[in-house]
A and B are shown apart, each in its own frame.
Chain A
């Protein structure tokens, strides 16, 4: 138990600082975004698991040879007032911290879910009053707005893709198709679930480098994944042109301020780069475009398999360390 907890602690520290920092600087995720996405998920899951596991095994070491035995004796101490003399201050401290961290993570996940759902419901209500259903497709709504905007609002069967009048006016039919396929890819690949999980992960532990880096990486990887789907039915040039038109027409701030009716707002807005930029979103557009302009071949098969194996190992190692000794013993 003692060595298990040390190993898990080292793993937790590694996954919280050096590993995500090195990984976030790697160039290959743009070549194989799906593989990179899997690795980020396993870094996050294994990181959380080893953090909690390290504290749990350290705290339980005096009362059991493995996690299951330790938990059984802990239950005895808590519920049947069994003698607890083996547990010192630091053991109890570690156990409380493990319990608090677990509760904090679960609670933040649920709270984020609730907040997102509430925000989506409100957004959908307003869309129902402000936007009109598009003529050419179900699940598409058109918003009366001059700046080119496209986004999707996930919600199961009520998922909707929203386009602005400005976007419809600015894009050729093929470019518009590319935008729609891109947005539908977000919905069909359930990217909102990834965004939710990583937003909650960051909200729960905002000071941990891994949560910020992971969220930024995931934000940009889902765009690349959706671009790849769009490339299956429209040409590279069409997609690049669509991105360029939408991006050059919406430098963020002007759209919002124009809607407030300030005539010279676009100049003000353009003078404040990043004022409305979500974290990493500017970099996302740049990396998307550069990856489309100079396409790189996907990661070679053996390397991809190696990354997949590493992702699996990252998850399997802490899980096995925590559970297997108890099953054998």
Chain B
């Protein structure tokens, strides 16, 4: 059985790739199909996957604010709150961001550089 973390990842990948909201059942089938497509002995993992497990994963993702549930439909349909690119941008905002409190969280290899600095560095590269 794949770990919850792996499943969260797989579910998010499906929701990010798909255009519209999906039910837990649909997601389970898609997960089963994708593990089968990867083939070999790993195939049984997808088949054993219970809908309740998918629902557990979805509620964890919902609690983390990554997935939202459509109200009023039965069974519930789930979709991602933001796109993969938006989440990446959120991370990069923390890494490269300007707010002083972001500075304390991460140590990045290179901070922001000014235009003139970047120009000097480019010249330096050309010379090497």
> Once the chains are docked, how many angstroms separate the CA of A274 from the CA of B91?
19
- The docked-state distance in angstroms from the alpha carbon of A103 to that of B57 is 42
Contact pattern, A 115-129, Cβ under 8 Å of B = 1, otherwise 0 = 110011001011111
Interface size on B, residues (CB 8 A): 45
Question: Which residues of chain B (54-109) have a CB below 8 Å from chain A?
Answer: 64, 66, 84-109
Q: How far apart sit A273 and B122, CA to CA, in the bound complex (Å)?
A: 16
B8 is contacted by which of A128, A246, A247 (Cβ under 8 Å)?
A128
Interface contact B109-A259, CB-CB below 8 Å = no
Is B37 on the interface with A (CB-CB < 8 A)? no
Q: Does B48 contact A (CB under 8 A)?
A: no
B107 partner, pick from A186, A242, A246, beta carbons under 8 A: A186
Q: In the complex, what distance in Å separates the CA atom of A5 from the CA atom of B125?
A: 57
Partner of B114, one of A143, A192, A277: A277
Say if the beta carbon of A84 comes within 8 Å of chain B: no
| B104-125 interface code vs A (CB 8 A; 1 in, 0 out) | 1111111111110110011011
- The reply to whether A243 and B103 contact each other, CB–CB distance below 8 Å, is no
Contact B92 A282 (CB under 8 A): no
Is the Cβ of B109 less than 8 Å from the Cβ of A179? Answer: yes
Chain A residue with minimal CB distance to B60? A125
Taking a contact as CB atoms under 8 Å apart, the answer to whether A243 and B102 are in contact is no
Q: A159-195, CB under 8 A of B: which get 1 and which 0?
A: 0000000000000000000010011001000011001
Taking the closest CB of chain B, its distance from the CB of A283, in whole angstroms, is 9
Given contacts A196-B104, A289-B121, A256 and B93 within 8 Å (CB-CB): yes
- Smallest beta-carbon distance A10→chain B, Å: 30
Whether B92 and A145, one on each chain, are in contact in the complex, defined by CB atoms closer than 8 angstroms, is: yes
Q: Which of A143, A186, A252 has the most CB of B within 10 A?
A: A252
Q: Tell whether A278 pairs with B125 under 8 Å between CB atoms, given A116-B105, A250-B110, A259-B88.
A: no
Closest to B128 in A: A241
Q: Is the CB of A116 within 8 A of B104?
A: yes
Contacts A127-B91, A255-B92 hold; do A243 and B104 have CB atoms under 8 A apart?
A: no
B47 CB within 8 Å of chain A = no
Q: With A and B bound together, what is the CA distance between A308 and B12 in angstroms?
A: 53
A251 CB within 8 Å of chain B:
yes
B56 to chain A, nearest CB (A): 16
| Residue among A199, A259, A286 making CB contact with B92, cutoff 8 Å | A259
Question: What CA separation (Å) do A179 and B110 show in the bound complex?
Answer: 10
Contact B64 A149 (CB under 8 A): no
Contact with B along A81-93 (1 / 0, CB 8 A): 0000000000000
Residue on A with the closest CB to B90? A126
Asked whether, in the complex, the Cβ of B113 is within 8 Å of the Cβ of A285, the reply is yes
User: Which A residues are CB-close (under 8 A) to B101?
Assistant: 112, 115, 199, 203
CA of A127 to CA of B91, assembled, Å: 8
A192-214 interface code vs B (CB 8 A; 1 in, 0 out): 10011001001100000000000
Interface residues of A in 249-300 (CB under 8 A from B): 250-253, 255-256, 259-261, 270, 273-279, 281-282, 284-286, 289
Residue B39 is within 8 A (CB to CB) of chain A in the complex:
no
On chain B, the residues within 8 Å of A307 by CB distance are none
Q: Can you offer 20 A-B residue contacts whose CB atoms are under 8 A?
A: A119-B105, A129-B8, A150-B108, A151-B95, A151-B109, A153-B105, A154-B107, A179-B109, A199-B101, A215-B103, A243-B110, A243-B121, A244-B122, A246-B110, A247-B118, A250-B113, A256-B92, A260-B85, A274-B112, A278-B112
Which positions in A face B, CB cutoff 8 Å? 112, 115-116, 119-120, 123, 125-130, 143-145, 149-154, 179, 182-183, 186, 191-192, 195-196, 199, 202-203, 215, 219, 222-223, 226, 237, 240-248, 250-253, 255-256, 259-261, 270, 273-279, 281-282, 284-286, 289
